[in-house]
Amino acid sequence: MNTQHAEPEMLDALIIGAGFSGLYQLYCLREKLGLKVKVLEAGDSVGGTWYWNKYPGARCDSESHVYCYTFSKELTEEWNWSERYPGPDEIVSYLDHVTDRFNLRHNIEFETRVAAARFNEKDNHWDIEVDSGRLYRARYLITAVGCLSSANVPEIDGLKDFEGQWYHTGQWPKEGVPFEGKRVGQIGTGSTGIQAAPVIAQTAQHLTVFQRTANYSIPARNHKLNTEDRSSHKLNAAATRELTRNNSNGHGWLISEKQALKTSAEERTDIYEKAWQTGGLKFRASFSDLLISEKANATAAAFIKKKIHQLVNDPETASSLADIDHPYAAKRPPIDTHYFETYNRDNVELVDLRKTPILRITKDGVVCHKPDSKGQRTEKHHHLDILVFATGYDAITGTLLRMDIRGRNGLKLSDAWSAGPRNHLGLQVAGFPNLFMITGPGSPSVLTNMPAAIEQHVEWISDCIAFMIEQNHTTIESSESSVESWVNEGNAEANKTLLPSVRHSWYLGANIPGKPRVFMPYTGGLDKYRNICQKAADENYKMFVIS
């Protein structure tokens, strides 16, 4: 850490990131606790994940009337969403509005990336250094860095030789990318690729989609909201708040109590058909046993695969798209706008990488292995002007570990987590006093509607810091034993579901070479998690080590 710079700026709390989490954490610590707080943000505006993810077709998969804060009735009352699912520009406008409405901007430093943070054991504070070398000193350090903010660009042989332009969807140029007259290759068919392909296909001369793992998708059925929709959302806002705070997923709906396996085939198909027509993530709430029973899940999987075959004209393409090797929603379940239908366009081609893997990238395209009719190895060159990597993120831990965070005895977070992330309640790591993580590993985060999970975390952290101040305590940290029991609890909850069975899922870190395979999000549900956290607070944080 650079010590040649001027005196550090003294703060009570430093927050990293100005997305949904960082802004609300700033508001709570400043307004409710009166602390001196600063947010450091790498981008030049608020927005977090949505500041960077401006790729074609980008859209939130939570519905707009729940993808927002609920802490201020006035804010809920005055803000008007324009569509069922908000796009990045509208979300950033919303967060801009929140920033100005609550006068938060002057506590945020933009274009400032945290490089390192060290816990000073002598004086019990954090020393933080940013990329420009500036220093800050704070009693509390809170990471609000999002779960999907470190782009994963796979190391494919030859990328450096590519003479066209290439982009990762998570670092999309603000000015956009014109596809007119271009031959575009898109690698990846996760939630992002499934959103991007239909939009890129509308203007590109030709789009080649490289699919490694076929994926389920449910129609989003996005639409403009009218005055009645908005009035109804506002009228029901208090009830919706109660619902999103007290259910397992933080969305505006409950998971049905009906079991697929105890429902007749005819009724089951009716229920799936209705959910398909309604669209969106609620499809996965059709039955209570979908994520715990392979047999139940297979009924949903079969329904969706049949839809794919109905939607896609070319039987070979349909077969590749429907050749899905994992249970429905055991990987992140995408929702789409005309994704499967896009393959009926003359200018769109699917390359099934399970049959014809990528060999290398050349100066003007991608070369795939293509067995000929005699099974001999031949090569096919896909000529491309633009390559789009919709290849996901070093999710949940990537951004945390890219910073050089060191706790007691200089322990590096990357060493503490060398076998995978370990913490207590997803909030605190043993040996890292006064460091709190919002929506980190071990918390429900990506399995929920994020703002609901974020409000819970921020409020818990704020209450905890208020307790520390009231009681004149200096440090709070997890004990090794509480970490051990939380890791066991997390594994036990995950193993009740089908989710850890998908070995190639980013929930397990499997998309990043060398990343430990540990199931990261807490699957017990936001409601259960909230109660566990509340109990810890009600017991005066006795599971934590306080000094």
Distance CA 439, CA 209 (A): 32
Residue with smaller CB distance to ligand NA7, 99 or 149: 149
> Which residue number places its CB atom closest to ligand NA7?
190
Binding mask 194-213 for ligand NA7 (x = CB under 6 A): ----------------x-xx
Min CB(365)–ligand NA7 separation in Å: 15
Judged by CB under 6 A, which of 154, 164, 420, 516 binds ligand NA7? 154
Residue with smaller CB distance to ligand NA7, 33 or 353: 353
Binding mask 293-332 for ligand NA7 (x = CB under 6 A): ---------------------------------------x
Min CB(328)–ligand NA7 separation in Å: 14
- Residue 248: CB atoms within 10 Å: 18
Residue with smaller CB distance to ligand NA7, 330 or 483: 330
Min CB(268)–ligand NA7 separation in Å: 26
- Exposed e or buried b for every residue in 308-326, given b needs 16+ CB within 10 A? beebbeeeebbebbbebeb
Min CB(392)–ligand NA7 separation in Å: 2
Residue 56 interacts with ligand NA7 (CB under 6 A): yes or no: no
What is the edge-to-edge ordering of all strands in the sheet holding 206-211?
165-168, 386-389, 183-187, 206-211, 348-352
**Non-local CB neighbours of 19 within 8 Å, separated by 6+ positions:** 46, 47, 48, 49, 50, 51, 95, 144, 146
Binding mask 102-141 for ligand NA7 (x = CB under 6 A): ----------------------------------------
Task: Give, as one character, the DSSP assignment of residue 428.
Answer: B
Residue 148 interacts with ligand NA7 (CB under 6 A): yes or no: yes
Residue with smaller CB distance to ligand NA7, 76 or 337: 337
Q: Most distant CA pair in the chain: distance in Å? A: 77
**Non-local CB neighbours of 21 within 8 Å, separated by 6+ positions:** 48, 144, 146, 438, 439, 454, 457, 458
Judged by CB under 6 A, which of 107, 149, 191, 240 binds ligand NA7? 191
**Non-local CB neighbours of 352 within 8 Å, separated by 6+ positions:** 211, 320, 323
Whether the Cβ atoms of residue 288 and residue 256 lie closer than 8 Å to each other: yes
Judged by CB under 6 A, which of 190, 440, 490, 509 binds ligand NA7? 190
Binding mask 340-369 for ligand NA7 (x = CB under 6 A): -------------x----------------
Residue 62 interacts with ligand NA7 (CB under 6 A): yes or no: no
Distance CA 142, CA 135 (A): 16
Distance CA 369, CA 401 (A): 35
Min CB(35)–ligand NA7 separation in Å: 32
Judged by CB under 6 A, which of 42, 187, 220, 318 binds ligand NA7? 187
Q: Which residue has the tokens 């193993």?
A: 495
Sign of CA dihedral 341, 190, 80, 239: positive
Residue with smaller CB distance to ligand NA7, 190 or 327: 190
DSSP conformation letters of 305-367: HHHHHHH-SSHHHHHHHH---S-TTTS---EESSHHHHTTSTTEEEEETTTS-EEEEETTEEE
Min CB(228)–ligand NA7 separation in Å: 29
Residue 192 interacts with ligand NA7 (CB under 6 A): yes or no: yes
Residue numbers 368-427 binding ligand NA7 by CB under 6 A: 390-392
Q: Tokens in use for 191? A: 């939630």
CB under 8 A, 24+ apart: contacts of 368-373: 368/210
Strand, helix or coil at 71?
coil
Whether the Cβ atoms of residue 403 and residue 409 lie closer than 8 Å to each other: no
Q: Is 228 exposed, middle or buried (0-12, 13-18, 19+ CB in 10 A)?
A: exposed
Residue with smaller CB distance to ligand NA7, 46 or 508: 508
Binding mask 470-509 for ligand NA7 (x = CB under 6 A): ----------------------------------x-x---
Residue with smaller CB distance to ligand NA7, 395 or 487: 395
Min CB(336)–ligand NA7 separation in Å: 11
The footprint of ligand NA7 (CB under 6 A) covers 148, 154, 187-193, 210, 212-213, 332, 353, 390-392, 504, 506, 511
